[in-house]
A = this chain, B = another copy of it.
Amino acid sequence: MTIPELTDVHAAWLPPEAFRAIGSRRTLVQADGPLAETVRAEVERARARYGGAAEGPYDLVLSLNAAEGADGYAIARRDGVTTVTGGDPAGLLYGFFHVVRLGEAAFGPDREPEHHRPAMRRRMLDHWDNIDVHPVMGQVERGYAGGSIFWSDGALRPDLTRVRAYGRLLAASGVNAVAINNVNVHATEARLLTDRLGEVAAIAAELRPYGIRVHLSVNFASPIALGGLPTADPLDEGVRAWWARTTEQVYAAIPDFGGYVVKADSEGQPGPFAYGRTHADGANMLAEALAPFGGVVHWRAFVYNHRQDWRDRSTDRARAAYDHFAPLDGRFAGNAILQVKHGPMDFQTREPVSPVILEMQGTRLAVELQVTQEYTGQQRHVCYLAPMWSEILAFENVAETGDLVAVSNVGDDRYWTGHPLAQANLYAFGRLAWDPGLDPAAVLDEWIDLTFAWPGESLRRTLHAMMDGSWRTYERYTAPLGVGFMVRPGHHYGPDVDGYEYTPWGTYHFADRDGVGVDRTRATGTGFTGQYPQPWSDIYESLERCPDELLLFFHHVPYGHVLHSGSTVIQHIYDTHFAGAEEAAEIRLHWEKLADTDAVDPDLYARVKERLDEQVRCAEEWRDQINAYFFRKSGVPDARGRHIS
């Protein structure tokens, strides 16, 4: 087991200093097998750097006890010895990284045993990486951190050290599965399933030592495109045989292969509708092929009509996933997992939780989050997303789904994520997938301690001041009150209030001179509120009870409508947009106080500073466009007399 060493790439949350406490102690690893070897190698490397002795008496003992369960571990300290007991080798690895997180605190006073088990059995990142570079989308679809860490120049990267380093970072945050390619599976990438399978195996080999299984996005039409069959009909015997045979070959090459990810009948991708079959038929066909090997299929529920007529107000994209999938509840195979975006639309800054997640109790579900900041600032804006995810995961039964998936935000950028502070989102995703109940601020503290090696209070305070409230700041200066979008079409960066208003994409705000918002009520609207269980169905239906932050998602209201906050809708728009842009400027001010100190590396300082300048500019643009748009439309002046262009 070689622990990856990278030069010219930022260490993220695993700099050498993160291992100082362990490395200066005496540690015993009482276990065998590949993952135990990884732990042993980590310990050796830390010891080599920080001079801990190889022999006892030991300060830290890591061992196995199946009672702690899969991926689980216990940690305790008594009589000057810290013990980590893994339920299995993966648990041992997670327990080891728990000690890393604690740092010196792991070796302080005695601790009563704590038992840790992940809330989600699968904690997974989806990469939207392509092999080929798309002229507009680039290599990583919705990627804001450069090219793919897996492929370059149309081929697997010859040096995969970085892939292993990525796996190591993920393991330290708790992630245990990675889908390596874009769910929009183009011609070149489709071949990863067959003649380019060796590339998948090579990536799997790099991630395996850190307990991460590899999954693959596949094209539903593969039997035609790759197999030369006349059909991809999921009930066709030849098609099923092709998938069975192909899957067998995948497992021959990668025995711990995780399974398939499929985007079918969505935004132009092929799917079972072409054959008059249901999505359960499609998913179950793949599930059947994967079952003998313990694999799963993640079948995405992101199915909607992207050729909608904007004139037709009765069609509602928010309804689509439920309308398509709820009738199929109970009909999916046991190893078919319906992967549902957390909200009914598409990763907006604020959405209600998808009713599919709340209602489909007879189906294995995975909740999909978006770590890559497509709609939340594209890693040019500081937007710490853990508070949003925390709210989502705390909602009703969301945390019980067992599978949490997110679109990754890394690329071949020196800082992994473009914006160095966006690393915290990747870290927090893994941690919340493990324990959705964690406090986002506490997770941020972990990330700060690891990344900046337990810095002083000053830097810690600065980063909290910048990041804790950054999602709500971003929400303030962008689309108001849950209405969503208002972004530039295509790239989705920056404001364009009507950008999607008269398009086929189903994402509207219906602003006119009298009011704004989407009427999704049962009484007078699209009836979307009826897809929710009680009490949410009635809460969202009710103009009085609907939470302010989702008001325009569920209701079309006059500009003078008074919110629970006491403000009118129009005044709320003005106030939040002035405030949001001001907060963006304050975030930058906090950072600028670090200039010419040694609190952070000058390169990292400069990178963040450059991004903050863009964030401030863009926040002002959002403020002015949104305010001008609604002022021109409503004619209502700002009650506080501020200038609106």
Contact = CB atoms under 8 A, between A and B. Distances in A.
Interface of A: 135-136, 310-311, 495-499, 502, 511-514, 621, 624-625, 628-629, 631-635, 645
30 contacts: A135-B135, A135-B136, A136-B136, A310-B645, A311-B624, A311-B628, A495-B502, A496-B499, A496-B502, A497-B498, A497-B502, A498-B498, A498-B499, A498-B629, A499-B499, A502-B621, A502-B625, A502-B628, A502-B629, A511-B632, A512-B631, A512-B632, A512-B633, A512-B635, A513-B513, A513-B632, A513-B634, A513-B635, A514-B635, A632-B633
Given A135-B135, A496-B499, A512-B635, 5 more contacts: A502-B621, A502-B624, A512-B631, A512-B632, A512-B633
The 8 tightest CB contacts between A and B, nearest first, are A135-B135, A512-B632, A311-B645, A498-B498, A502-B625, A513-B513, A513-B635, A513-B633
A568 to B, nearest CB: 17
A540 B303 CA distance: 53
Contacts of A513: 513, 632-635
A213 B631 CA distance: 55
A448 to B, nearest CB: 38
A631 B512 CA distance: 8
A149 to B, nearest CB: 23
Contacts of A629: 498, 502
Contacts of A625: 502
Contact of A498 (B136, B496, B514, B634): B496
A310 B499 CA distance: 17
Contacts of A645: 310-311
A595 B63 CA distance: 83
A185 B497 CA distance: 34
A514 B631 CA distance: 11
A628 B625 CA distance: 20
Contacts of A135: 135-136
Nearest to A628: B502
Given A498-B498, A502-B628, A633 B633 contact: yes
A621 B498 CA distance: 15
A100 B136 CA distance: 48
Nearest to A621: B502
Contacts of A635: 512-514
A564 B613 CA distance: 51
A53 to B, nearest CB: 59
Nearest to A498: B498
A644 to B, nearest CB: 9
A552 to B, nearest CB: 16
A136 B491 CA distance: 14
Contacts of A631: 512
A498 B495 CA distance: 11
Nearest to A312: B645
Nearest to A503: B496
A496 to B, nearest CB: 7
A135 B311 CA distance: 33
Nearest to A490: B490
A275 B499 CA distance: 39
A263 B17 CA distance: 56
A633 B498 CA distance: 12
Contacts of A634: 513
Which of A310, A498, A511, A633 is most buried by chain B, counting CB atoms within 10 A of its CB? Answer: A498
A634 B635 CA distance: 11
A275 to B, nearest CB: 29
Contacts of A511: 632
A147 to B, nearest CB: 16
Contacts of A136: 135-136
A354 to B, nearest CB: 28
Contacts of A311: 624, 628, 645
Contacts of A632: 511-513, 633
A311 B512 CA distance: 22
Nearest to A133: B135
A371 B384 CA distance: 51
Contacts of A502: 495-497, 621, 624-625, 628-629
Contacts of A497: 498, 502
